[in-house]
Amino acid sequence: MDVMDRIKEAIESNSVILFMKGTPEFPQCGFSSRSSQALAACGSEFAYVNVLADPDVRANLHRYADWPTFPQLYINGELIGGCDIIMELYESGELKKMVDAAN
């Protein structure tokens, strides 16, 4: 399967998915750590893809939605954004509403 098809399938198969460096249990960058902690604090499950473990995804994800950095959060197939946007949404309480609505 083509890498773009794999990315699309992962996004479409998970209502909430975070493309990050590392895992929620062992994040490999501060931005991924803060983003996964904010999602976890919302109290709902979320899927994740460790882009460091999949170089093809890491090299091509920016092409999928024209977003250059990691992490990238998708809810119901829509790109929400990266760490700054995730943290703003979390601090305002909107992230929990979005995650709850998706689950």
58 assigned to a ligand binding site: yes
70 assigned to a ligand binding site: yes
84 assigned to a ligand binding site: yes
pLDDT digits (tens, 9 = 90+) for 55-100: 999 999 999 989 999 999 999 999 999 999 999 999 999 999 999 9
Q: What is the dihedral of CA 27, 86, 57, 49, to 10 degrees?
A: 50
**Domain 3-102 carries which CATH code?**
3.40.30.10
Query: For residue 87, what are its two tokens?
Result: 């943290």
Give this prediction's pTM.
0.95
CA-nearest of 79, 73, 78 to 51 is: 73
Query: For residue 68, what are its two tokens?
Result: 């250059």
**Whole-number pLDDT of residue 71:** 97
Burial 19-34 (b: 16+ CB within 10 A, else e): bbbbebeebeeebbbb
42 assigned to a ligand binding site: no
Listed by start position, the domains of the chain span 3-102
